[in-house]
Amino acid sequence: MRNFAATTMSIGANNGNQPGVNRNSEEKRCTLVGMTCDVCLSALKIATGFIGHSSAILADGIHSISDTVTDALVYAMVRLSGKGVDQRYRYGRGKFETLAAFLISIILVVVAVGLMVEGVEDVWTALNGGTLERPHNIALAVGIVAVIVKEGLYQYTRLKGRKTGSSALKAYAWHHRADALSTAATLLGVAGAMFLGERWRLLDPLAAIVVSVLILVLAYRMGRPAVEELLEVALPRDEQDKIAAIVNGTPGVKAFHNLRTRRNGNLRVVDIHVKMEGDLSVAQSHEITRQIEQQLREELGEVMTNIHVEPYRGTNDCEKDHGHD
């Protein structure tokens, strides 16, 4: 059949299939674990701040309240992203995860700036003769517990994020790490105020300023990939090269062009025009595109493909279109 042109579209195991269901269940379970721990830590820190006369622990407890808001945000986004494809979301809801990662990075920026401003104010007060109150021993104990719990949540969530490939969980893990660092800085300040004397209480706000800078770096590391995905930046060059190698290596494919790629949450979207002999039947062309889709899934994971088939017109055609954009 001459001047044949057709389009085929396929998505890997994602919507309604067991792998996607298990992945979303892992995400929800992980988020609920984090939410439960954050609620308990918030209550414990605030109570300790009042009982132990520690403004640092009290502020850290109030800061931890924002963690529960983040937990709820991540959980809501994960539930939405797990609903898959329907008539309204033809490419699925993967970008809800990306949006969650972006919003978490914004929250971290706000928290970091707040910590930095508070730290600078305390340093200024101390340098001008102000005195910081000595905290009670219970504040030190609660700080140690909080650091251990948050670092444990970071390790747990990071492993789940790697296992599922969830950008939301990966960002969520860094949020736990940022909280662990923040509490560690508070802990250092509390310890310095308790054991090194009044003049060394300046360590508390100085540590907070250092941690705020670290949190800003973490926010950037999370926010940049999320922004790139929301703006539909192409897949990394090495992944594009893998796609090109798979397409060129598939029997029956003479050339390709118009390769366009992007991410949608955990899903990679690949649009491409493939050239084949013009006298192939529809069934033969479809089988070739099916092979391409299968190889892409084996190499890249969950992939949605949109393959447009065009007739191959000879060597000049191949030379013109063999590369990718």
**Predicted pLDDT at 243:** 93
The fold of the 18-230 domain, in CATH, is Alpha-lytic protease prodomain-like (1.20.1510)
Per the CB < 8 A criterion, the answer to whether 97 and 166 are in contact is yes
pLDDT in tens, the chain (325 residues): 334 444 444 544 444 344 454 666 777 788 788 888 888 888 888 788 778 766 667 667 766 766 676 677 667 766 766 666 667 766 666 677 778 778 878 887 887 788 788 778 877 877 777 666 666 678 788 888 988 998 999 999 888 888 877 777 887 888 788 888 878 877 777 777 677 766 666 776 777 777 778 778 878 887 888 888 888 888 889 899 999 999 999 998 999 998 999 887 777 889 999 999 888 889 999 999 999 999 998 888 878 888 999 998 876 655 444 445 4
CATH entry, 234-321, from 3.20.20.70, 3.30.200.20, 3.30.70.1350, 3.40.190.10: 3.30.70.1350
Cβ atoms of 268 and 235 within 8 Å: the answer is yes
Strand (E) or helix (H) holding 207? helix 203-230
Cα of first residue to Cα of last residue in the chain, in angstroms, is 29
Confidence at residue 316, expressed as pLDDT on a 0 to 100 scale? 61
Report the alpha-carbon angle 58-62-66, nearest 5: 155
Helices (H) then strands (E): counts for the chain? 9, 4
Asked if 112 and 65 count as a contact pair (C-beta separation under 8 A), the reply is no
Round to whole Å and give the CA distance between 191 and 196: 8
CA distance 288 to 243: 15
> What is the chain's length?
325
Instruction: Specify the pTM.
Output: 0.62
Distances (CA, A) of 196 to 203, 204, 209, 291: 10, 12, 20, 69
For the chain, residues classed under CATH 1.20.1510.10 are 18-230
Q: Is 227 exposed, middle or buried (0-12, 13-18, 19+ CB in 10 A)?
A: middle
Residue with tokens 């860094």: 174
Unique residue bearing structure tokens 């069934």? 283
Asked if residues 73 and 15 have their Cβ atoms less than 8 Å apart, the reply is: no
Nearest to 215, CA basis, from 259, 175, 166: 175
Boundaries of CATH 3.30.70.1350 in the chain? 234-321
Report the DSSP beta bridge partners of residue 10.
305
